Structure 1
Amino acid sequence: MNNVRGGCVRVMILTADYAPGSWSGIGVAVERQARALASLGIETHVLVANRAIDMPGASGTGPHVHQLSRQRCPVDPRQFDVVHLHSLALSELAEELRRRFDLPLVYTAHSLLRLELQESADAGLWCAVQERILTISDGVVFLSRAERLAAVAGAPELATRSYVIPNGVPAPPDSLPPPEEEGPIVFAGRFARSKGVELLGQLIPRVLARWPGRFVLAGGHGDTAGTRIVQNIAAQFPGACRVPGWLNRNDLDALFAASAVVLVPS
C-alpha cells in the first residue's frame, strides 16, 4: 500500500500496553492491529512506553516494535503518514507529533472515561485529557456503538470523524470436542458499566427463571457500581453464578470451549 508520495504507507502506533509483555485487553488488541496492518503491506511501527516489556523483533513483514524513552524518539516522525494513539498517557506526545510534523492523528477510545470513572478521584484529570484528544484528533475509533453515541451526544462534531471498530477475537479452531454436558453462559471482562454489566445484572435473573443453567462471570477490575452488581448477582444466585476472578489463558480457553454462550464486551 502506497502513500501520496509513492512510497509505502507508514503508521506509528503509540501504546503503553503491547502483547506478549502485557496481556491486557488493550495490549492484545494493539498487537493484533499492528500485525493486521503489516499484513496489508503497511509499514507499521509500534512505540511502547513500558520499560518492563519484552520487545519482540520484527519478523519478515511484521510490525517493528520500539521502546519509548524520555531522551529521544526511536523513529524519525518525518517518515510517517499517520499517528495512532491508544494510551492517554502518551497524549502529549501524540499532540506534539501532530502539531510539529503535521501528522494526522487517530485515537482509539478504549473506554469513555466520563462514563467509567465517575467515582474515581482522578476522574477529572483523565477525563479532561481524553476530551482534549477527542477534540483535536482527525479520526476517533470507538469500540461500541453505545460509546460512540454517548460521545457524539456530548460533542456533536465527532459525528463526522468517528467510527466503530470492535476489538477482534481469534477465529475458533476448525473443530472442538463437544462438552460432556450443557455448559455455562460465560461473561469475560471488566466489571464496569461501560462493559454492559448493568444490562447483564438485569438479564441473569430473567434467564435463570426460565433456564436451570449456570453463569460464570470471569474478570474484575471494574468500577464500583459494576463490581457491586456482580457481587449482588453472585449472592442472589450462589448455586448458579460463579465469579472466579481473572483466569489464566489456558483456564480461560478451557472455559470458553465448554461454554454454551460466551459474552466478551469490547
Structure 2
Amino acid sequence: MATFRMALIQLQISSVKSDNVTRACSFIREAATQGAKIVSLPECFNSPYGTKYFPEYAEKIPGESTQKLSEVAKECSIYLIGIHLFDIDVPGKITFQESETLSAGDSFSTFDTPYCRVGLGICYDMRFAELAQIYAQRGCQLLVYPGAFNLTTGPAHWELLQRSRAVDNQVYVATASPARDEKASYVAWGHSTVVNPWGEVLAKAGTEEAIVYSDVDLKKLAEIRQQIPVFRQKRSDLYAVEMKKP
C-alpha cells in the first residue's frame, strides 16, 4: 500500500483513569471509522502529568489500560501506539524530573505493519538525532513520538525538532500531545503534528482536544530520497552512528 492514513489523538486528560481510557477508546474507534490504520495516543494519556501521580496511576503490564487498548485495537483492526515522560529544568520557568520516578528504556522500539516499518520514541527522545538515524538505518519510514512539551519548550522546539528529524532522515514524523489544560499542574503544549520527509507540516492540531489525520504517502517518500540521495552519499568511511545494543 503506497498510501495509508494515520491518526493522532490529542486527548484532554482528567484525574479519573477509567474515564481517560474510555474516552481514548471512543476516539480510537472514531479514527478507525475515518480510515486510520495507525493510531497514536499522547504521552501519559491515562494519568495527569507529574511524578506525584505516577505511583497512584501505575499499572502492571498487562493491566487495565493495556487490556482495553489491546481490545480496541483488535476490534478496529488497527495498529495502536499508547503512552511516558522526561527531565527538564529551565530556571525561572519549569522544573520537572521524571527520572526520579521512572527508569530509562534500554532498547530500540520498532514494529512492522503491512504499510511500513515504524520507529517509536517518547517526547524527549526527539532531541536525540542519533535515535532517529538508527531507526532510518533500520528501515523505518515513519517515526512516532507521543510527547508532552510544555509552554516553554513547546513554542521553541516542538515543531523545529519534528521537522529536523524528518528532513535529516527523510522519514515521516508524527507527534501526539495531550490537549492543553490551563488548570493542570503541568500544562502541555498540544499541537499534535505530522511532518513529511520534505519537512512540510501536513497536519497540526491546535491546543484543544482533537483527532489529527494525515495520509502517509510512501511514494512521495521514495521520490524525495531519489531527489536528494543522502543515504547513498553519506561518508560512512569517515563517520557512523552505530547501535551498542539491539
TM-score (norm 1): 0.29
Structure with the higher fraction of residues in strand conformation: 2
Higher helix share: 1
- Determine which structure has greater relative contact order: mean sequence separation of CA pairs < 8 Å that are 6+ residues apart, divided by chain length: 2
Q: Normalized against structure 2, the TM-score is what?
A: 0.31
